[in-house]
Amino acid sequence: MLEFDWQSLIDARQILAAGAWITLKVTLVAIACGMAWGTLLAVCAVSRIKLLNTFSHAYVSLFRSIPLVMLLLWFFLIVPQVLKAVFDLSPTVDIRLVSAMVAFSMLEGAFFAEIIRAGILGLSRGQFHAARSLGMTPYQTMRYIILPQAFKAMLPILLTQCIVIFQDTSLVYVIALGDFFRNAVSIGERDGTLVQMLLFAGLVYWAICSTLSAAVKMVQQRTQHD
């Protein structure tokens, strides 16, 4: 247990790299789609239209109360069947990756929505009145005045949520998706080096998250000085 077998890591580098690529794809799609969906939900949450406001709050409340593992399993069982039926895909097509991306995007949209909504509500109402006095429409006000300021104010929190998403991607092991963590565990079980591979995977996650956390602190300090 105390001897680290570097040769097994070298031999498994292609499998680990393939798993890391899947982890990266799930992370980037979850951030991009989740932030876009979350922005729309946040705008609906502060809207004066009762239907949009109710839908946004109900959506956020629902998805924030569902454990991620349960959501992944639901989408793993439901989404593939729907997509295969709609697009007439072959039963042999593996779309676990798509189902994971959809689950993460919908869940993270709820968390991003609350962060962005807090940023919008944190702005002075004078911003809205000033935009209205200039003849700007509600859409123009939100796009050019409110959202840029809200994103700037909430940037450190948004980046922190991105780190959380990266960490949570390891949960895709429950749907047998070969991400970095699952591939590391599979290699360890195959070669009898499970402890070593778990330590290595943990070290990789720690190094990446520590680097990103340091970047978030730098951004936070810069925004405080602006």
| Interval 113-142: pLDDT, tens | 999 999 999 888 888 888 888 888 888 888
Domain map of the chain by residue range?
24-179
32-36, 68-72, 160-164: range with lowest mean pLDDT = 68-72
Q: What is the pLDDT of residue 1?
A: 47
| Interval 170-195: pLDDT, tens | 999 888 888 999 999 999 888 888 88
For the cut 80, the answer to whether the pLDDT of residue 219 exceeds it is: yes
Q: What is the pLDDT of residue 21?
A: 95
How far, in Å, CA of 68 to CA of 180, rounded? 18
State mean pLDDT over 131-154.
86
Residue 113 to residues 67, 142, 161, 170: CA-CA distances in angstroms?
17, 15, 12, 23
Which amino acid, 75?
A: F
| Interval 86-109: pLDDT, tens | 767 666 666 788 889 989 999 999
For the cut 60, the answer to whether the pLDDT of residue 2 exceeds it is: no
Which amino acid, 128?
A: F
- Just give the CATH number of 24-179: 1.10.3720.10
For the cut 80, the answer to whether the pLDDT of residue 6 exceeds it is: no
Contacts of 67 (CB under 8 A, 6+ apart): none
